[in-house]
Structure formats: C-alpha cells, structure tokens
C-alpha cells in the first residue's frame, strides 16, 4: 500500500493527482523549479522539494534529481503525470531501481511505444522515407519520434518546404524532448482525431473505456475534447477498440494509456500510443463515473480490475483555457492571473489560484473546464454558457474562441475535423467588444454614484475617460445632473465600483466590474485605462518588430543583416517561449534598417527586435 507519493510534474496535473491522493489518504510530495517557487501545486502538497533552476532541462527533465527528491522526502511511489518524463523508460527504471513504486506501465512497454516509428513497426505500419518523398505524397506531416503535445510537428504541402520543415521540427523536438529524431507520414486532410482510453492490470485484464474525439486542435495541440466521439458507426467503434487492445497486449501494457487514430470516413489509421494519462482524461472519467488516477494507483498496488468496465452514461466535453492570443498566431501571454472563476455545474482542473503569475517557462494552459450531461447537446451548451460567464482576469486568453467554437454549427452538428481552425479561425477571432463596456468602466469610478444618484446644484462639465479595448481606443463622456449620472442615449440605473446597471432602449443590462490598477474587466470585456496625457516617448518607428511575448531568441534567418532586402511575411527570427518556437516575420516589404537581437538573447514583451523600412 502506497503511503507517500511524489508527482514528477507541475501545475494542473500535479494538483489533479494530489487531489486523488488526499481522498485516498496518501501523503503527497511536490517538486518545483525556482520559477515555480510558491506555485499552487507546491502549496497543496504536504511536502515540496526544490529543483534548482528554471528551464525544464535543468529541473522537471532531470530524472536523477527527482528520484533523489523522492528518496529524501520519504516517498514510496512516483506518479509522472503527463509531459516531461512521463514517457521516459530510463526514468521509470531509475524509479524502480531506487526501490520506489512506478505509477505507470513497465519501462519495456514505454520503450516500445515511446518512439512513434517503433510503435508503427509494432502495428505493421511503415513511415515514409524522408529522402523519397515526392509531390505525389503531399501533403505530409513531419513528426517528432519522441514526445507529444504537437511539438516537433510541421505540415508540408509543397516539396520545396520539406527541408526547412525537417530542420525546424528537429530543433523543436531536441529542445522539448532531448531527442531530435523526426519522421514523415501521410497527412490526411479532413481527418478526425479519435482515441481510445485503455486501462490494464497485472492480471491480464485490459479495459477499453470508450472513445474520445480531439479534432479541434491548434498547432497539433488539442483545444476541445469530448467523449464519446460523435458520429462513429458501431462497426468502426468496435474496430478502434480491437486495435487499442491489440496495441496494449503487444507490449504487455499495465496502467492507463491511450491509443490514437486518424479517422477518415470509415477508415482508421493508427497514429501512436501514449503510455501515460492524457490531458483529456476527465471526459472519460465523467462518462464512466471513475477516477483514472485512483485506478492507476490501485493497479500499481497490484489490485485486479473487474472483468468488465463500468457502463458509460451521458456525454462530456472539455475545453482547455490557454493564456494565448489566437488572433496573433496563438502567441502565449504572461502576467498576473488576478481572478479565475467558472460558474455552473462544471468541473475545473487548474494549476493556478487567484493572484498567481503565468510565466514564460512552461505551457500556457490555465485550466480545463469539463461539462457532463445526459446528451451531447446539453453538455456543449452547459460548457459554452459556463465559459461565457466565467471571470478570467489577467493575461489574454482563448476564452472567446472556445465559446464560439462550441457554438459553431460545424461543431454542434458533429461535423468537425482537424482542419476546423484552418477554415474558421478568422471568423472565430474577430473582435466583438461590448460597446457599453467603456461607459460601465468609467461609471464604476464616478464620484457620488449610487442607486439613488448623486447630483449637484450647478451643471457640471462632462467627465472624460479613455480606454483601449480590443486594440481600439474609446473615449467616454458622462456628467452629474440633478437626476444623477447621465450619458448620451443611456440611462444610468445604478453605478458602484463593482456593478453598473444601464438602461439601453428600455432594456436594463448589468455589468460586473473589476479593477486591478489600470486593467479593468467589464463582464467578458478587458479594457485598459489610458492616462490623461499620453507619454510621448512611448513610440516606435513604422515597421518596428516588437516581441509579442517574453522569450529567448533561438534563431535569426540565415544571412540576415542590416541593409538586407526583405519581403512582407518573410521570417526574420524565431522566439522560443512556453516550450514552443514562434516565427517573427517582416511586417512590410523593404530594407532591414535595424537588428537589435542575437541568438540566445532574452527579451521581454514589447522589446524592439528589428526595424524594416518600407520601400
């Protein structure tokens, strides 16, 4: 019986595992980098051990340090979570060699499936030879042999782009996983990403716990997932289950794992087996009424599964809330998360608490929000409504994108595939700011505002406030009168620091307001209060390239130097932030007049990287 368990991970998944451990009466140990000192997962654990440094390669990817931490803290078991070392066979062996219990499959099973090329060999599938790719093979997908999460992946639709894609994928894979091996496979346009959850014990029982659809992805990372996958025929579902069992039995699998497929029409193409818990496991838990982490622990302790899994009930949908700007090439965002609350009967899995800082070193996922209901339509509606009413105060997020995606007719009709965002991103990210949000922000600060109105005996001059919202500047004017606050065309019913009620065309609307310095949140609208007198020095020359995020300059385009001619959209340099590489392109066609950075240089948001003088 496990008494103390260390989670070799951070953030949301560490908090998720700790929650189950506390319910089971198991003591918990967290590990943390210097960047995560005081993070939520360290606060909810019974014990925490520091891993010196901030970069993953120095901390969460150092298996030797994590094993030492487990021994020093008196742990008798290690749970790897997902990502980092969760699919590293050498780490699993090191845990076992230290006399600790490993909450996962045998190292041999991890090793067999860790390389996607070897996994395909086990399933009798051969990838394309890189040097033999022809126009007839296009489009193809360049894919990292190790790891996951969309890192080290590139879609190639033109043969001339293959070499550059291979180079970029190798660099990203080496940075993320310490392994730069990549391979090429056919890319099926219009396919769906469908997976099967498996759970196996040491007594020969293998469960398949339904299907999941994870087709809504950005940069090959999942955004919205659901269980069961909608629209599959019974025959196809049974085929997927049989293939999943075959994959598990081929490597004598033990514990929780996922077998992933690309489904096109009635055909299923094996992609890979993830030898760990998946980010989207909560939708399976909701449908089958089980705790997969608790089952992982029971299996590791040697308990047998029942002969048959529980019966499924209803439908579940999960949305991943990211600190990122989908309209700006999914650029990750950083800063203080002032508040995160989601109303309604939904599950919230997060690694953040109010006031925590979203940093640059790790994945930008803030939380997962999960809704479960008797039918798919009910679950989708409940999740969209909860996200729409959520208070997310801090860095820019993909919340609006999630709500619009869930309500898009292609998704509600179950007709989505992995190209969903390629087709619909512009319409899903077009700003639709509330025109009355700036007025509500201004009135929440108005002196003398109350339910009964404040007034003066003499007419007052209009009060003027300025805000930016959705990239545009808004000027608001209001005045105090004998009847109370007055604004053009709008009757002010109530105005207080946290609530403003306006009557527009006979309809009363309530606006909840929160303020953090010059950041103002009115419902789902984020605004920034502008000073009365703008700083004239805060200007940049036309054609300036500013860092959209804090990060490290990992590469500058070959031969790029001051005086070089560049074309609009041409990549000039690459930033690495939150484990992903981000291309910085020329804003206009012209001449590079300034280049302010070198590879290896750290930059902050808004740093001047280069200037292109338009011709």
DSSP class per residue in 136-197:
GG-SEEEEESS--TTTT-EEE-SGGGHHHHHHHHHHHHHHHHS---EEEEE--TT-EEEEEE
| % of the chain residues with pLDDT over 90 | 73
Give CA–CA dist 91/29, Å, rounded: 18
Q: How far is CA 335 from CA 41, 332, 339, 358, in A?
A: 18, 11, 12, 5
Q: Mind listing the pLDDT tens digit for each residue in 301-339?
A: 999 999 999 999 999 999 999 999 999 989 999 999 999
pLDDT confidence of residue 533: 63
Of the candidates 65, 309, 61, the one whose C-alpha atom is nearest the C-alpha of residue 176 is 61
pLDDT greater than 60 at residue 455: no
DSSP bridge pairs for 512: 499
pLDDT category of residue 255 using cuts at 50, 70 and 90 = very high
Measured between alpha carbons, how far is 5 from 101 in angstroms, rounded to an integer?
9
* CB-CB contact of 590 with 566 (8 Å): yes
How sure is the predictor about 115, in pLDDT bands with cuts at 50, 70 and 90? confident
- Please report the pLDDT score of residue 177 as a whole number: 75
Q: For residues 183-200, give the mean pLDDT.
A: 90
How is residue 295 written in tokens? Answer: 């089952």
Dihedral sign from CA coordinates of 406, 412, 416, 419: negative
Alpha carbons within 13 angstroms on the beta-carbon side of residue 273 total: 32
**Which of 205, 242, 233 lies closest to 123 in space, CA to CA?**
242
Global pTM value: 0.85
Residue 452: its pLDDT value, please?
43
User: Please, what's the largest Cα pairwise distance for the chain?
Assistant: 87
Stretch 374-387: mean pLDDT, rounded?
98
Q: Is 310 helix (H, G, I), strand (E, B) or coil?
A: coil
**Distance (Å, rounded) from C-alpha 542 to C-alpha 252?**
61
Tokens linked to 236 = 């196809």
Buried b (16+ CB within 10 A) or exposed e, 127-143: beeeeebeeebbebbbb
Work out the burial of residue 390: count CB atoms within 10 Å of its CB; fewer than 13 is exposed, 13-18 middle, 19 or more buried.
Answer: buried
The contacts of residue 598 (CB under 8 Å, 6+ apart) are 553, 556
pLDDT, residue 448, reads 45
Would the pLDDT of 451 be above 50?
Answer: no
Computed over its alpha carbons, how large is the radius of gyration of the chain? Answer: 26
Contact indicator for 192, 294 with CB cutoff of 8 Å: no
CB within 8 Å of 161: residues ≥ 6 apart: none
List the structure tokens of 350. 């997060």
pLDDT tens digits along 393-439: 999 999 999 999 999 999 999 999 999 999 999 999 999 989 999 99
CB neighbours of 144 closer than 8 A, spacing ≥ 6? 116, 151, 152, 153, 169, 172, 173, 176, 177, 179, 181, 182
- For residue 547, what are the contacts with CB-CB under 8 A and spacing of at least 6? 575, 584, 603, 604, 605, 606, 607, 609
Calculate mean pLDDT across residues 564-579.
Answer: 87
> Crossing angle of helices 420-429/399-407, nearest 10°?
120
Question: Is residue 165 within 8 Å of 136, Cβ to Cβ?
Answer: no
Could you give the count of Cα atoms lying within 13 Å of 112 in the half-sphere of its Cβ?
A: 15
Q: Can you tell me the mean pLDDT for 334-349?
A: 97
Name the more confident of 450 and 600: 600
Phi-psi region of 182 (alpha: psi -120 to 50; beta: other; left: phi over 0): beta
Alpha-helical segments (H) within 180-291: 234-250, 281-288
454, pLDDT greater than 50 = no
CA–CA separation, 213 and 193 (whole Å): 6
**What domains sit in the chain, N to C, each tagged with a CATH number?**
4-103 (3.40.50.20), 114-186 (3.30.1490.20), 192-429 (3.30.470.20), 437-529 (3.30.700.40), 544-614 (2.40.50.100)
- Cα–Cα distance for residue pair 117/486, rounded to 1 Å: 68
Angle, vertex CA 351, rays to CA 350 and CA 354, nearest 5: 90
Q: Are strands 544-546 and 608-614 parallel, antiparallel or unpaired?
A: antiparallel
Amino acid 600: pLDDT: 86
Condensed to tens digits (0 to 9), the pLDDT of residues 17-33 reads 999 999 999 999 999 99
For the chain, what is the mean pLDDT? 91
């Amino acid at each position: 019986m496990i008494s103390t368990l260390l989670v070799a991970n951070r953030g949301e998944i560490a908090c998720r595992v700790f929650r189950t451990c506390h319910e089971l009466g198991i003591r918990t140990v967290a590990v943390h980098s210097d960047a995560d000192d005081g993070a939520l997962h360290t606060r909810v654990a019974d014990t925490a051990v520091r891993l010196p440094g901030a970069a993953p390669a120095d901390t969460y990817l150092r298996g030797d340090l994590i094993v030492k931490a487990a021994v020093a803290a008196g742990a008798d078991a290690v749970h790897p979570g997902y990502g980092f070392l969760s699919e590293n066979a050498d780490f699993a062996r090191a845990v076992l060699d230290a006399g600790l219990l490993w909450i996962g499959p045998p190292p041999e099973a991890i090793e067999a499936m860790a390389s996607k090329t070897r996994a395909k060999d086990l399933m009798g599938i051969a990838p394309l030879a890189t040097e033999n790719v022809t126009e007839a093979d296009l489009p193809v997908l360049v894919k990292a042999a190790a790891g996951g999460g969309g890192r080290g992946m590139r879609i190639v639709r033109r043969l001339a782009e293959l070499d550059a894609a291979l180079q970029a994928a190798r660099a990203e894979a080496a940075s993320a996983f310490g392994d730069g091996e990549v391979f090429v496979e056919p890319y099926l346009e219009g396919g769906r990403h469908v997976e099967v959850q498996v759970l196996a014990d040491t007594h020969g029982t293998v469960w398949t716990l339904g299907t999941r659809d994870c087709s809504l992805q950005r940069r090959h990372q999942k955004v919205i997932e659901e269980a069961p996958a909608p629209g599959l025929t019974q025959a196809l579902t049974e085929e997927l289950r049989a293939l999943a069992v075959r994959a598990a039995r081929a490597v004598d699998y033990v514990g929780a794992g996922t077998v992933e497929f690309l489904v096109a029409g009635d055909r299923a193409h094996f992609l890979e087996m993830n030898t760990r818990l998946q980010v989207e496991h909560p939708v399976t838990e909701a449908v089958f009424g089980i705790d997969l982490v608790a089952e992982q622990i029971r299996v590791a302790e040697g308990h047998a599964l029942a002969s048959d899994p529980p019966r499924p009930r209803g439908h579940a949908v999960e949305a991943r809330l990211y600190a990122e700007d989908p309209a700006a090439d999914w650029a990750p965002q950083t800063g203080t998360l002032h508040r995160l609350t989601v109303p309604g009967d939904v599950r919230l899995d997060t690694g953040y608490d109010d006031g925590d800082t979203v940093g640059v070193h790790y994945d930008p996922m803030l939380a997962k929000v999960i809704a479960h209901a008797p039918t798919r339509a009910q679950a989708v509606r409940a999740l969209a409504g909860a996200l729409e009413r959520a208070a997310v105060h801090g860095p820019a997020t993909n919340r609006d994108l999630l709500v619009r995606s869930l309500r898009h007719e292609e998704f509600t009709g179950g007709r989505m595939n992995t190209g969903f965002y390629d087709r619909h991103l512009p319409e899903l990210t077009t700003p639709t700011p509330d025109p009355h949000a700036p007025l509500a922000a201004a009135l929440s600060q108005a002196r003398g505002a109350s339910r009964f109105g404040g007034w003066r005996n003499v007419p007052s001059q209009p009060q003027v406030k300025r805000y930016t919202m959705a990239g545009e500047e808004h000027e608001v004017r209001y005045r105090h009168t004998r009847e109370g606050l007055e604004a053009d065309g709008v009757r002010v019913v109530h105005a207080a620091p946290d609530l403003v009620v306006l009557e527009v065309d006979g309809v009363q609307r309530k606006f909840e307001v929160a303020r953090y310095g010059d950041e103002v949140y009115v419902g789902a609208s984020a605004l920034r209060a502008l000073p009365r007198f703008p700083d004239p020095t805060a200007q940049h020359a036309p054609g300036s390239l500013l860092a959209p995020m804090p990060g490290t300059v990992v590469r500058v385009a070959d031969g790029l130097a001051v005086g070089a001619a560049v074309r609009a959209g041409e990549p000039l340099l690459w930033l690495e932030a939150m484990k992903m590489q981000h291309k910085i392109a020329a804003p206009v066609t012209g001449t590079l007049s300034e280049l302010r950075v070198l590879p290896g240089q750290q930059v902050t948001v808004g740093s001047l990287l280069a200037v292109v003088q338009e011709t």
